[in-house]
Chain A
Amino acid sequence: MTLAPERSAISPTAPHVTQAQHVAAEQHRLNTRLSLEGGAERTHPPKKSGRPNPMGHLTNEQIEAIGRELDAIRAEVMASRGARDAAYIRRVIRVQRGLEIGSRAVLLFSKNKYAWLAGTAGLSLAKILENMEIGHNVLHGQWDWMRDPKIHSTSWDWDMASPAKQWQHSHNELHHTYTNVLGRDNDLGYGLLRVDEDQPWELFHLGQPIWHLINAMFFEYGIAAYDLELRGNLQNWDELSEEEKAVFKANLHEMLGKIRKQAMKDYVLHPLVSGPSFLPTLLANFTANTVRNIWSNTVIICGHFPDGIDTFETDSIEGETRGEWYLRQMLGSGNISGSKFTHIMTGNLSHQIEHHLFPDMPSNRYSEISPRIKALMERNDLHYVTGPVLKQAYQVYRKVCRLALPNEEPGRSRWSVVRGELGKVVKGKGGARTKRHLPSTADA
Chain B
Amino acid sequence: MRAKFIHSMVVMLTSGLVISGCAAVSEQNDSAKNAAKDAATRQAALAMMQASFKTRGQASVDRLNQDETQSLCSQYQDNPPKEVREKIESLNQKLTLFPADGVLLGDWKEGEKIAQSGVGKQFSDNPENAAGGNCYACHQLTKAEVSYGNIGPSLYNYGKVRAYAPEITKYVYGKIYNAEAYSACSNMPRFGHSNILTPQQIKNVVALLMDPESPVNK
Q: Do A and B make up one complex?
A: no
> B residues engaging A (CB < 8 A)?
none
